[in-house]
Amino acid sequence: MKPIAIRRREPVSIAGWPADLHPLLARVYAARGLTPRDLARRLADLVAPSSLGGLDAACALLAEAIERDLSICVVGDFDADGATGSAVAVRGLRLLGARRVHYRVPNRIRDGYGLSPGVVESLADAAPDLILTVDNGIASHAGVAAARARGMRVVVTDHHLPGETLPDADAIVNPQLMRASCARESKSGDPSPHSSTTAANPDLRNLAGVGVVFYLLLALRARLFPNDGDDRARQDRPDLSSLLDLVALGTVADLVPLDANNRILVEAGLKRIRAGRCCAGIAALFKASGRDPARAVASDLGFALGPRINAAGRLEDMSLGIECLLTDDPARALQLVEELSSINAQRQELQATMVEQGEAMIARFIGRYQDDALPHGVVLHEPDWHPGVVGLVASKLKERLHRPVVACAGAEPGSSELKGSARSIPGFHLRDALAEVDAACPGLLTRFGGHAMAAGLTIPADHLARFAAEFDAVVRRRLDAQLLEPYIWSDGELDPEAFTAEAAHALRYAGPWGQAFAEPAFDNVFEVESWRAVGERHLRLMLRPTGYAGTFEAILFNALEVMPPPPRLRAVYQLDLNEWNGRERLQLLVRHIEPA
């Protein structure tokens, strides 16, 4: 594999930043393009719901359903975004007065993705008057048609990219429709028939599915409980901020970019969690993962809580995860989290096996044809792979290969179809690439959908080889070869005098850090004073910065390839806090090392 290059962010002047702001934070914020005006993270600074198109029609339908006591069914998705979004929709609608609200989530293997005709058929006995989709629906043409044929109204809320045509729903709320409308207008010269009612402010196009439905609830509350300046009326308005812990979890777990608007949502949710005001399910997830909710940060949501919720949809039934997020009984929540944790352990074991098999396939290919022959767009398939885990395999191999990866598995035992899950690198838009493959080879793909960094697809098994060739060809045309070079970002060298627990604490809570708003990392040259293996895969080191008298404790996880470490090295690291017996001490969390 090609060596990883260290790329340093350009230093930016911090003149004009508040004097009471830690100078290291000012340096980091400025390097990410922020200004002092961007420091506020108040809910009042959110982009207004009125900026999101489609809300008027959706709110009118939901308001009528609440006023007439109609039955509402929330149809979610089988990932953490869909689960949190479903819980937000059910809880929020109940807060706003809906009494007959239930939910349904497709089974990944049996039903496939989204509002399908099969899911609609399964609702026949419940016979809802209105279906509200969450984190799906923008590609559910047949499902929407089936629901409306049965007399059900359909409100679609989604954040995935639309196709050339939209489903015939009664209302659609999707911030991506502005992008699609602009694209259609540029091609035809005529406005899209939906552009006047569904265009969205660009600042909302990074909302996760849970964020979209939260915005819908905000608009619905404004309609049902108008804020006319009366203090009593204001006090009677339902408090939708009680849902922000769920919004934060789904937003982080879905890996949407943490732009200014999403950072406000996530930070507000984290504040509720730290204050002990989260729902019983999230509290139980923190307890099961051994994380302290009083010290909660975005990485806890992404790496500890999210995978437990996701595991239910990958291997079992996401209803388990949604129930965990809906219950207000702490004992019941802990019982459900125990089940989720058990499923997640199975997922981890299965994932490790599948990733190992994928890496072996890549190694055999490189051993035979050399690195340069590796496709720019990699497509992998193993007959025994589980379709619920292929997305994680694609993600791991994408990180290792630094190129777009599609991992495929049989849709179900004995099926003639394959389910594929794709993950991309910055600079390559997956969903657009799949659309190009579909346009060039009609019928090659049965269905596909997604967004820039992640997508899903279904193909006949006998089309796999042709799809692999076509996908690689599109990647080669679209992707600058320089983007295939692996790299890691650094915020530059750090004076060892700044290696303090105070600085680490300031950085920890300064985010929230995540997708497209990377946690600060620095690089320095160190002398290795000592090292020892921890377990079978990790390194504990004592590092001395060049020209400095003191040493610092450091940890490098998954270090098999660099064991033993070179005596003098350059490390990319984060300032981290290691808590033990209620005390915090500084450690360097090493992300990358190379000989110096």
The tokens describing 499, both together, are: 């290696």
Mean pLDDT of the 230-243 span: 81
CA angle (297 as vertex; 292, 301 as ends), nearest 5: 85
pLDDT over 90 (residue 546) = yes
Q: Which residue has the tokens 């352990």?
A: 345
Q: Are 380 and 393 in contact (CB under 8 A)?
A: yes
CA distance 128 to 73: 6
Lowest mean pLDDT among 2-11, 172-181, 283-292: 172-181
- At which of 284, 319, 338 does a domain end? 338
- At which of 487, 520, 552 does a domain end? 487
What is the reported pLDDT for 455? 92
- Can you give the CATH number for the domain in which 453 is found? 3.10.310.30
What is the reported pLDDT for 194? 35
Share of the chain above pLDDT 70, in %: 94
What is the reported pLDDT for 411? 87
| pLDDT tens digit sequence for 515-535 | 999 999 999 999 999 999 998
What is the reported pLDDT for 127? 86
**Distance (Å) of CA 244 to CA 133, 368, 513:** 19, 52, 17
pLDDT over 60 (residue 201) = no
Long-range contacts of 283-292 (CB under 8 A, 24+ apart): 283/330, 283/333, 284/324, 284/330, 284/333, 284/334, 284/336, 284/337, 285/309, 285/324, 285/337, 285/340, 287/334, 287/337, 288/334, 288/337, 288/338, 288/340, 288/341, 292/579
User: Is residue 2 situated within a structural domain?
Assistant: no
CA distance 350 to 506: 38
The tokens describing 79, both together, are: 């990932």
Three-state DSSP state, 234? helix
Mean pLDDT of the 173-186 span: 65
Mean pLDDT of the 27-49 span: 90
* 436 and 549 part of one domain: no
**Distance (Å) of CA 72 to CA 61, 94, 127, 304, 314:** 11, 11, 9, 32, 26
3-state secondary structure 146-206: HHHHCCCEEEEECCCCCCCCCCCCCEEECCCHHHHHHHHHHHHCCCCCCHHHHCCCHHHCC
* 165 and 238 part of one domain: yes
What is the reported pLDDT for 410? 93
What is the reported pLDDT for 184? 43
User: Is residue 25 situated within a structural domain?
Assistant: no
Mean pLDDT of the 280-298 span: 96
User: Is residue 208 situated within a structural domain?
Assistant: yes
* 506 and 480 part of one domain: no
Beta strands of 332-389 (E only): which ranges?
378-381
pLDDT over 70 (residue 179) = no
CA distance 161 to 452: 9
User: Is residue 6 situated within a structural domain?
Assistant: no
DSSP structure class, residue 295: G
| pLDDT tens digit sequence for 127-139 | 899 999 999 999 9
Lowest mean pLDDT among 18-22, 191-195, 265-269, 496-500: 191-195
CA distance 557 to 541: 11
Spatial strand order of the sheet with 153-157 comes to 101-104, 72-75, 130-134, 153-157, 171-173
What is the reported pLDDT for 321? 96
pLDDT over 90 (residue 168) = yes
Q: What φ, ψ does residue 246 adopt, rounded to 5°?
A: -70, -40
Alpha helices in 479-555 (DSSP H): 501-508
DSSP structure class, residue 571: E
* 100 and 137 part of one domain: yes
CA dihedral (164, 168, 170, 175) in degrees, to 10, reads -10
Q: Are 538 and 559 in contact (CB under 8 A)?
A: yes
pLDDT over 70 (residue 375) = yes
DSSP structure class, residue 517: B
Q: Which residue has the tokens 């050339």?
A: 164
* 458 and 498 part of one domain: no
* 204 and 328 part of one domain: yes
Q: Which residues pair with 344 in a beta bridge?
A: none
CA distance 208 to 81: 7
pLDDT over 80 (residue 180) = no
User: Is residue 427 situated within a structural domain?
Assistant: yes
Share of the chain above pLDDT 90, in %: 76
Q: What φ, ψ does residue 324 adopt, rounded to 5°?
A: -60, -40
What is the reported pLDDT for 108? 78
User: Is residue 221 situated within a structural domain?
Assistant: yes
pLDDT over 70 (residue 181) = no
Average pLDDT of the chain is: 91
| pLDDT tens digit sequence for 428-458 | 999 999 999 999 999 999 999 888 889 999 9
State pTM to two decimals: 0.91
User: Is residue 361 situated within a structural domain?
Assistant: no
pLDDT band at 1 (very low <50, low <70, confident <90, very high): low
CA distance 160 to 205: 10
Mean pLDDT of the 19-40 span: 91
* 472 and 498 part of one domain: no
- Can you give the CATH number for the domain in which 507 is found? 2.40.50.460
- At which of 487, 508, 541 does a domain end? 487
516 backbone φψ class: left, alpha, beta (φ>0; ψ -120 to 50): left
| pLDDT tens digit sequence for 55-109 | 999 999 999 999 999 999 999 998 999 999 999 999 999 999 999 999 999 887 7
Domain count, the chain: 3
Mean pLDDT of the 21-44 span: 90
524: containing domain: 491-595
* 317 and 388 part of one domain: no
CA dihedral (518, 510, 253, 96) in degrees, to 10, reads -140
* 383 and 421 part of one domain: yes
| pLDDT tens digit sequence for 474-530 | 999 999 888 889 999 999 999 999 999 999 999 999 989 999 999 999 999 999 999
CA distance 383 to 57: 46
Task: Return the amino acid letter for 461.
Answer: A
What is the reported pLDDT for 197? 32
pLDDT over 90 (residue 158) = yes
Choose among 57, 35, 313: nearest CA to 170: 57
Beta strands of 331-388 (E only): which ranges?
378-381
- Can you give the CATH number for the domain in which 76 is found? 3.90.1640.30
* 477 and 497 part of one domain: no
* 291 and 305 part of one domain: yes
What is the reported pLDDT for 203? 74
User: Is residue 358 situated within a structural domain?
Assistant: no
What is the reported pLDDT for 191? 34
pLDDT band at 3 (very low <50, low <70, confident <90, very high): confident
pLDDT band at 43 (very low <50, low <70, confident <90, very high): very high
What is the reported pLDDT for 581? 74
* 567 and 474 part of one domain: no
CA distance 261 to 51: 13
Helix, strand and coil content of the chain, in percent to the nearest 5, comes to: 45, 20, 35
Q: Which residue has the tokens 């690195």?
A: 371
What is the reported pLDDT for 228? 67
